[in-house]
Amino acid sequence: MTQPATSSSFSLAGKTALVTGARRGIGAAIAAGLAAAGADLILMARDAALEDTLEAIKENGGGQATVVTADFADPTAVEEAATTAVADAAAAGRQIDILVNNAGTIRRAPAAATGAADWKHVIDVNLNSTWAVTRPIGAAMVQRGGGKIITIASLLSFQGGVTVPAYTASKHAVAGLTKALANEWGPAGVQVNAIAPGYISTDNTTDLRADPEREAAIRDRIPAGRWGRPEDLVGVAVFLASAASDYVNGHVLAVDGGWLAR
């Protein structure tokens, strides 16, 4: 008889996780949470100013943490950094067991006023660089027969939103890519899932929270009665990174305080 999941099923001891966009917000919280569950961390960010995240990892009892820099607006550079990270891990006798694609950006403007440069920047950061990281790391996972990939999607993977056409397009695409890779890589023992955060208090929602009418309208729709915090995503990330989720694949899991239920 198969035993039910226990606390050991959620342990990440002996695992190495690469988290993109780990300098602050959701990425920093998830990195610290994975460390608390026992994982070593590779933090990929636009610059090396990750002192707060590194301190949080240390405070959470995390093991080794290293930093890799890459500009997510340049998918070619991102793929090179990811490929190097795979090679460096192998040279050190390790492997990247968990990938968390968190790096992302948003630019707000009416669709008719959104220029080509803004469109390209958002698509490059949110979609093309997600693919650039995932392909080499996922290929290594497939080759050895196991791994966990988690991408941060959005409520706008399901909805259209307003004044964020590139962001919405990128997050719909991220949800589709999650399902496509789950279909291809699932037979090799690689689970590919996504987390769709609700309205979270991060830099990306500063403008919304600064508008009293918009902030109140959003909060009033959330059954939980509050905006989310980056820490609200940590438990879900640990679950999807651990053996507890070995039969979860191709799923986009909303963590939204009930927003989509309204």
Task: Tell me the H-state helices in 14-164.
Answer: 25-36, 51-59, 75-91, 116-123, 129-144
By C-alpha distance, which of 87, 185, 161, 173 is closest to 130? 173
Our answer to whether residue 167 is catalytic in this structure is: yes
Type of residue at 75: P
Question: What is the bridge-based pairing of β-strands 98-101 and 147-152?
Answer: parallel
What's the CA gap between 102 and 20, in Å, rounded? 5
Asked if 152 and 126 count as a contact pair (C-beta separation under 8 A), the reply is no
Beta-ladder partners of 225? none
By C-alpha distance, which of 84, 83, 51, 86 is closest to 65? 51
List the catalytic residue out of 72, 167, 199, 227.
167
Tokens of 188: 């090799």
| CA end-to-end span of the chain | 40
Other CB atoms within 10 Å distance of the CB of residue 203: 10
Q: Taking each helix axis from N to C terminus, what angle separates 234-241 and 25-36, rounded to the nearest 10 degrees?
A: 50
By C-alpha distance, which of 181, 189, 184, 178 is closest to 144? 189
User: Which residues are annotated as catalytic?
Assistant: 167
